[in-house]
Amino acid sequence: MKHAKQHTFHGEWLGGFDEQVAEDLEFDVIQALLASYCHGESATERAEKLRPWRTRKRIIPALETTAELRTIRQEGIPFPRVACDELLREIRMLKVRDSVLDEAGFLRILDASKTLNALLEALQASAGRFPRLEGLVEDVEWTEELTDAIESVFDAKGEVRADASNLLVSIRGEMTRVRRAINRAFMRAVKVGQEKGWLADTTEGFINERRVLAVNSTHKRKLSGTVLGQSNNGSITFIEPGACMPLNAEFEMLKDDERKEILRILRDLTQRIRHHLPLIRAYQRVIVELDWTQAKVRLAGECGGHLPLLRKTTGFHMIQAYHPLLRIQNSASGRHTEPQTVELSDRGRMLVISGPNAGGKSITLKTVGLLQVMLQSGLLIPVHPNSEVGFFDAVLTDIGDNQSIENQLSTYSYRLNRMRGFLEVSGRTSLLLLDEFGTGSDPELGGALAEVFFEELYERGCFGVITTHYANIKTRAAQLDEALNGSMRFDRESLEPLYKLDVGQPGSSFTFEVAEINGIHRSLIERAKAKLDHRRVKLDDLLTALEREKNQLTKLTDRQLRKELEVQQLKTALERKQAALETKAATQQEIADEQNVALTRGKRMQQFIDRWNAQSKNKELLEDVRKYLAVERARQEDAAALAAAKRAAAKTSAPKRRPKHHVERIQVGSKVRLRNGNERGEVVAIKGDDVTVLFGQMRMRVERHKLTWLAH
């Protein structure tokens, strides 16, 4: 069919993505989660400002880098976790001439250098397996110059080493001597004060980092020294002993000398470090990138994210897709989350989902939208790895009951404004997500307008997922070649939604069944039915009956598949045991034959030994031995030639295995059926001759020759 002209979106960002779309799809919650997983401010800011791209050159590197680190974490490959502090302050300081870094700055650089060295070693050991991560550190060189320089000044506790310079050694030695002299003088003063009874119960204290005696104020004039303070009630006076005063003054001078020498050492060290400024800038870049990538990997671990196969064409086939936030929430509470399989392609690009309220329509729509936006933001998504996802130029949403109080717009007016915008920008690379399409106005009139909108969007070649209760939308979707109907399953026997999407037919809204669940009296429900067109009631009953039959068929199919799987597993186990027994029997026979041959040869050799005469030359015996060895050698050669001939004959005479049932056409995405049954499914993975097929919601591994290819 002829589609409308494609609208062109400019720039590298995803078109149509605004705060409303982020809120509709709960992408803002994903951003908050990512921000909480980040260590540094730069990565946190990146999470808060995250937006999806539309260009492959931005999306694919981000996805592949995250996938590589995810693989490393999953496989337990030795790889350092980057939790270094950022180096922005140090970089700013190093750019200023004659600036001096403080102790904390040097320790941050030391930590970064050690971590990045370890990271380079880990990537080198992986032998090129992670090219994206290797590209991330391509301008970072392994070096010990930084670590050696800093560790020559700082000890393991992060303090300046006593031997950082000869002068510092001398100063600290003198400080130790003076400190001991202060302690001796102070203890003599304590002894005198205690003997005289001048001291309070606490004896001593510290004021301004100086050790003082706690003297009862009535005796303060009896003790030589300087008063440095009193207790709150004035009963105790704190006195620095006179003998300690010159020593304390000398110690303060030594501390000042120490500070000056440490400043000189740090200035010299800063100058040495300044030569490595380009490398430190590279450290900063890698620290931020890995911090950000680690946050994305942690999110993928929480929600079960994978990297699907990336299509070059627009559309997707999401297999076993989970809503990430719902899965995280349910996993925390131990509840099951039902995955969905949804496909949009050129053959079926607009999916209309119907079914009961609270049956999972909106969650399915939001799952598709959120996963698409996450993927185009460089995030791994919770789908089966064999899923295929392409990229869109725009994602447009109309979800929820939005009203604009400021502009005095009703829900329906708001939706009409959104729809007007969609009609202006949508095209063949746009994904539309419309929840409760057409609601908010008179059902009959609103349904007619919604049908027109639906037809117009279809004519523009858009891709979309639409949820609705309108019968005319379902009917129109069934009439259009590239549109599909889908329904959320409902168990009529238990009157409970099953939260499973079936594609192929529309679903009933189960209006009366849901009313019955909520306690509405049967007589009222019958009166309501009587007010409807009998054809409408009959159609709804038909859809309900189809739903019931489908549920029963699904249960029977699942039961049969389980039985077939059990039989297949038992058969495989039996075949393995039989093969093992045959192999064991053949091995035992070979051992027995070898032992018989060895026994015969041993007897013959014993005969030669018995004939040996040490007193003669044994010419006849040696000739017999030579002949025997020649005969045995010839037998071995004949046996080897015969075995080779049998193998060659078996190889040439064995009938060539010809493909049957088009098994050579089977590939991921093919529609197939079991050769010994009528069950139809879709191939989701192939490993050698083992083919993994998705039958409904059941996965089954089948040998290729037991399948029949149906279609791609």
93-146: per-residue pLDDT in tens?
A: 999 988 999 999 999 999 999 999 999 999 988 888 899 999 999 999 999 999
Dihedral angle over CA of 550, 556, 557, 560, nearest 10: 180
Question: Quick one: 365 and 468 in the same domain?
Answer: yes
What is the per-residue pLDDT for 424? 84
Question: Quick one: 480 and 424 in the same domain?
Answer: yes
- Residue 471 to residue 492: CA distance in whole angstroms: 20
Q: pLDDT-derived band of residue 532, with 50, 70 and 90 as boundaries?
A: low
- Residue 34 to residue 378: CA distance in whole angstroms: 12
Position 526 in a domain: no
pLDDT in tens, 448-475: 888 888 899 999 999 999 988 788 888 8
**Last-in-domain residue among 625, 653, 681:** 653
State yes or no: pLDDT of 319 exceeds 80: yes
What's CA 645's distance to the chain center, in Å? 56
Radius of gyration of the chain (CA): 41
More confident residue, 198 or 286: 286
**What CATH number does residue 201 fall under?**
1.10.1420
Q: pLDDT-derived band of residue 583, with 50, 70 and 90 as boundaries?
A: confident
Position 469 in a domain: yes
Q: What is the tally of structural domains in the chain? A: 4
Question: Quick one: 598 and 460 in the same domain?
Answer: no
**What CATH number does residue 687 fall under?**
2.30.30.30
**Amino acid at residue number 140:** V
Q: Mean pLDDT, the chain, as a whole number?
A: 83
Position 194 in a domain: yes
What is the per-residue pLDDT for 518? 65
What is the per-residue pLDDT for 73? 92
Position 545 in a domain: no
- Residue 680 to residue 689: CA distance in whole angstroms: 19
3-state SS class at 124: helix
Q: pLDDT-derived band of residue 221, with 50, 70 and 90 as boundaries?
A: confident
Contact (CB, 8 A) for 7 and 427: yes
CB atoms < 10 A from the CB of 662, how many? 13
State yes or no: pLDDT of 444 exceeds 80: no
Range of 584's domain? 566-653
Question: Quick one: 335 and 472 in the same domain?
Answer: yes
- Residue 677 to residue 655: CA distance in whole angstroms: 27
Question: Quick one: 426 and 454 in the same domain?
Answer: yes
State yes or no: pLDDT of 511 exceeds 70: no
- Residue 252 to residue 257: CA distance in whole angstroms: 9
| pLDDT over 70 percentage in the chain | 83
Position 383 in a domain: yes
